[in-house]
Structure 1
Amino acid sequence: MAEVCALNQGENSAVAKAWAHVRANLRRSAGQRLFDQWLKPVVLIESSDSDAVRLGLPSAFMTQWVKNHYSERLLLEFKAVLPSVRSVTLETLAEPGRRIAAPAAAAAAGPVADAPVAAPAERPAFDARFTFARFVVDSSNRVAFNAAAMVAEPGSPRFSPLYLHSGTGQGKTHLMHAIGHAFLEANPGATAIYMPAERFMFEFVQALRAKDTHAFKARLRGVDLLMIDDLQFIGGKDSTQQEFFHTVNEFMSSGKRLVIAADRAPQALEGFESRLAGRLGAGLVADIRAPELELRRAIVKRKLEDMPQVAMPGEVIELLAQRITANVRELEGALNRLVAYAQLNNEAITLDFATQTLGEVLRATQRRITIDEIQNAVSTHFEVKKIDLISERRAVAIARPRQIAMYLAKRLTTRSLPEIGRKFGNRDHSTVIHAVRRIEELRGKDVEIDGAVRKLMRQLEGA
């Protein structure tokens, strides 16, 4: 790859000036801790094309994180200062012989101590946004939340390790930072380390090359709380897994706190030794399920509490909660995009504005669920014939699944009550109303019914 030349510290290009402004804005909006952890290492790469901004970070993990959380924000910030900018790309700089732009522009926004190709500096400070108080709880994440709170309590831990797993963007990292905040607040003299698994692997490999694994082991195993995120990234890395296995054993035998997060359960991890998977499952394994409508609505409202200057009508909140269903991160991203576009265009947030601004996002998440699909899913789940759901049979073994199917049809489709009734053996709309109310009532007091409904909703919405 061609060498990337450094910008001269005296260069006053329009892009460099814009980067100084953007960087200063990011420091103010993100807060010092978040800025130091993730955005401070971002540097400007010189390019002959001033309309295509190139930014670099020292590791692939940091590059992906900034892409996920700030790629659109960076483009909007640059366009606000330099309208000619048409794209902002993020690149990983850890390549032999590659040099980054000298942070001349960044100097205007404050002192920077960036190492061009080194791993990101250790982050002992936890993100101020990620606390237990700011984590929105419902049945989809309550076990994980309560377990995390227990890990942070003073005294001997009730279990170790705590293993959190879920799909991307569901709140695992939030809970790990919350544990760090609460644990250090309750134990001011204690020590804690949070690091992504990629960082663990990077430091271990560096220690091997330097023939100084003792210092690496002593630093990690000497802390009171160790948290490793995104464990799936060391799948297939045998030497790293072996070292991690010994680290897990050390924490378990010494009764210290260990928290691990991954995108799947221990036994489902790909490229992991069975003995390591067994150790990971020996503590408490807690999953976080995809957020349902009520939680998505509550999350949007909680985020808006941090934006007192933003006026968002209830119908727009409902649009976000109803349509952005995949995970919390996508929901927050859609909200941030909507607010940023409204502020940059000096427009009020209305339903029409939201629909236009989030057009691609909404189209990507839209999937029409049919009553036939619901009936098929319910009949399979409860092991009844589909024809029984539309029959006159009133046995509880048939009537309850039928009511659940009607409830789901009302929740997941745009069909009217009479239309739903017709699909269930030409029943009256009042029968559908009764079924919906009955299932809503049962969900509040019958764990099995509630669990079945949740499972069916996840299955249908994710199909």
Structure 2
Amino acid sequence: MDKNSLWAQILAELELNLSPGNFATWINPLRVSNLEKKQDNRFILEIGCPSVFHKNQVGERYQSQIQEIAERFLGGSCEIRLGIEQKEPKEKEAENNLFSIDTEKTALEAYQRSAAKAGLSPNFTFENFAVSPSNEVAHAAAKTAANRPGEIYHLIFIYGGVGVGKTHLMQAAGHEILKKFPDARIVYCSGEEFTNEIIEAIRNKTTPLFRQKYRKARALLIDDVQFIGGKEIVQQEFFHTFNAVQKEGGQIILTSDRVPGEIKGLEDRLRSRFEGGLVVDIQKPEFELRTAILLIKAQEKKINLPMRAAQVLAANVESVRAMEGVLMRLYTEEAAKKTPITEEMVMAILGKINSEIKTPKERLTSKQIVAATAEYFQLKPQDLKGSRRVKLLARARQIAMYLMRKEIGLPLTEIGEVLGGRDHSTIIHGAEKISKELAESDPLRIDVNNIRKSLYKNGFSLQK
């Protein structure tokens, strides 16, 4: 078996084992660089990572899984060596185009100027957005809008609580559009800023300039659009702006802390247009996502945050902004005391004694998943293990298959045993069926997320 065939097998199995968010964030960027066979049926598999941070995360979280899969397919022991991917020199391209470097530099500068002019934060990009089940639908929608602005979804309406990543995702789409179209007019502002601008324009009799700015936008990004509720003149102007951008095939992305139907004082015609777009929510980040966000923020600020310290902090603080505040306090403590960040330091800053600190639970068991799924559908665990094929029972069984694959990475044969001796092809079919339907079915997504919440309400599982 050559390196590419082996890597394809490893990717296929990991994609089944991991959540789509974790697979896209940590596994997809990896590149296999070499497979070497030694004596006594021993192998060395070399894998390239895009950065030192990425290498450390894969080493801690997924290296053992990769090794186990590789050894199973190779039929011998396999050492996994993680390294930093070296980009191949483009000598031939340089020979053919002596000005390629200057061209790339000019394009980059044009993009940076456009992003700054649009008011987009350089920190809010897709590259540093952590994906998980709580935000993967909104992330996929934003990526689609960025790749094909105005073509698939003319309007995306993203709603959710404070600090869940709405602004980050919206601005990331703006950045991506500018990378493809550096000269595109991107307009980003909050609902409050839009309101203040139209008031100033009316007062100073500069309404035509205001309209030219907003109605000629290739992409209109409005944060906290709920602010315009109850403001008649502002809503009237926004209605015509919305229509003008949409008529020209522009992309509109709005964020709010609530669904369109719950925005007080919102005119019916605007509510109708908002609801006519793609309305997606971002839920509160779960434990694993909070941990990933902490690690990404720590890397950006060059803070050496150990995995275990990040997990303890993520287990005790649900607000992303509050976590960032604690992270900066940790950085200050580390600099002042000249000591590395530890779990004890996190506990001290949180102001809790050891016995009160929540620590992440060990990973879930198949028994817990079967019990939670059965309880949600008002069934008995034994029902999921039986042979009856009533529609509700079959759906509950498939969800249990999916969760055992995604949440704890249970092998197909073991899932089959847990569910009454079903064969692996049945398990694959059931898990993949749920995985595909999740992207299209809101009721199914609600069911799966509710079961997940019931599993994690008293603690959190650790992906191993």
Shorter-normalised TM range: 0.5 to 0.7
Please tell me the residue identity of whatever aligns with 2:151.
P
Q: Distance in 2 between matches of 1:365 and 1:246?
A: 53
5 Å-filtered alignment, 1:383-422, equals: 383-384=378-379
Choose 356-365 or 287-296, whichever is displaced more: 356-365
Aligned to 1:329: 321
CA shift, 1:184, in A, is 1.6
Q: Retained in 1: the 8 A contact 2:347–2:357?
A: no
Q: Retained in 2: the 8 A contact 1:164–1:262?
A: yes
Matched, 1:261 2:255: yes
Q: Distance in 2 between matches of 1:155 and 1:262?
A: 20
TM-score, scaled to structure 1: 0.55
CA shift, 1:138, in A, is 2.4
Q: Retained in 2: the 8 A contact 1:154–1:187?
A: no
5 Å-filtered alignment, 1:29-428, equals: 124-153=118-147, 157-308=151-302, 310-324=303-317, 326-359=318-351, 381-384=376-379
Q: Deviations over 1:422-449 (max 9, x none)?
A: xxxxxxxxx9x969xx9x9987874489
Q: Distance in 1 between matches of 2:207 and 2:353?
A: 47
From the superposition, tell whether residues 378 and 203 of structure 1 become closer, same or farther in structure 2 (CA, over 3 Å): same
CA shift, 1:390, in A, is 10
Aligned to 1:95: none
Q: Deviations over 1:322-345 (max 9, x none)?
A: 333x34333333333322332234
Please tell me the residue identity of whatever aligns with 2:277.
G
Matched, 1:456 2:448: no
Q: Distance in 1 between matches of 2:160 and 2:343?
A: 32
From the superposition, tell whether residues 145 and 130 of structure 1 become closer, same or farther in structure 2 (CA, over 3 Å): same
CA shift, 1:307, in A, is 4.2
From the superposition, tell whether residues 301 and 243 of structure 1 become closer, same or farther in structure 2 (CA, over 3 Å): same
CA shift, 1:196, in A, is 0.5
Q: Which residues of structure 1 form unaligned runs of 5+?
A: 1-121, 412-430
Q: Distance in 2 between matches of 1:191 and 1:184?
A: 9
Q: Distance in 1 between matches of 2:374 and 2:451?
A: 11
Q: Distance in 1 between matches of 2:356 and 2:235?
A: 37
Q: Retained in 2: the 8 A contact 1:235–1:270?
A: yes
CA shift, 1:320, in A, is 2.3
Q: Distance in 2 between matches of 1:148 and 1:155?
A: 10
TM-score, scaled to structure 2: 0.55
Please tell me the residue identity of whatever aligns with 2:121.
D
Please tell me the residue identity of whatever aligns with 1:193.
V
CA shift, 1:368, in A, is 13
Aligned to 1:30: none
Q: Distance in 2 between matches of 1:260 and 1:183?
A: 16
CA shift, 1:359, in A, is 2.5
Please tell me the residue identity of whatever aligns with 1:150.
T
Q: Which residues of structure 2 form unaligned runs of 5+?
A: 1-115, 362-368, 408-414, 439-443, 459-464
Q: Deviations over 1:123-173 (max 9, x none)?
A: 624211111111112232222222212222367532211211111111111
Q: Distance in 1 between matches of 2:341 and 2:168?
A: 28
Q: Retained in 2: the 8 A contact 1:290–1:458?
A: no
Q: Which has the higher contact order (CA 8 A, sep 6+)?
A: 2
Q: Deviations over 1:375-420 (max 9, x none)?
A: 9987774235xxx57999968778969x97xx99xx9xxxxxxxxx
Q: Distance in 2 between matches of 1:285 and 1:349?
A: 41
From the superposition, tell whether residues 446 and 190 of structure 1 become closer, same or farther in structure 2 (CA, over 3 Å): closer
Q: Distance in 1 between matches of 2:357 and 2:266?
A: 33
Q: Distance in 2 between matches of 1:315 and 1:345?
A: 20
Q: Deviations over 1:334-385 (max 9, x none)?
A: 333322332234332111111011227999997999xxxx99987774235x
Choose 211-220 or 178-187, whichever is displaced more: 211-220
SS at structure 2 position matched to 1:134: coil
Q: Sequence identity, in percent?
A: 32
Q: Retained in 2: the 8 A contact 1:232–1:262?
A: yes
Q: Retained in 1: the 8 A contact 2:149–2:250?
A: no
SS at structure 2 position matched to 1:259: strand
From the superposition, tell whether residues 292 and 395 of structure 1 become closer, same or farther in structure 2 (CA, over 3 Å): farther
From the superposition, tell whether residues 284 and 123 of structure 1 become closer, same or farther in structure 2 (CA, over 3 Å): same
SS at structure 1 position matched to 2:210: helix
Please tell me the residue identity of whatever aligns with 1:162.
I
Residue-pair matches, total: 310
CA shift, 1:276, in A, is 0.7
Please tell me the residue identity of whatever aligns with 1:208.
I
Q: Distance in 1 between matches of 2:199 and 2:117?
A: 19
TM-align CA RMSD: 4.4
Please tell me the residue identity of whatever aligns with 1:317.
A
Q: Retained in 2: the 8 A contact 1:341–1:357?
A: no
SS at structure 1 position matched to 2:304: coil
CA shift, 1:203, in A, is 0.9
From the superposition, tell whether residues 377 and 275 of structure 1 become closer, same or farther in structure 2 (CA, over 3 Å): farther
From the superposition, tell whether residues 194 and 321 of structure 1 become closer, same or farther in structure 2 (CA, over 3 Å): same
Q: Retained in 1: the 8 A contact 2:150–2:252?
A: no
From the superposition, tell whether residues 271 and 155 of structure 1 become closer, same or farther in structure 2 (CA, over 3 Å): closer
Aligned to 1:39: none
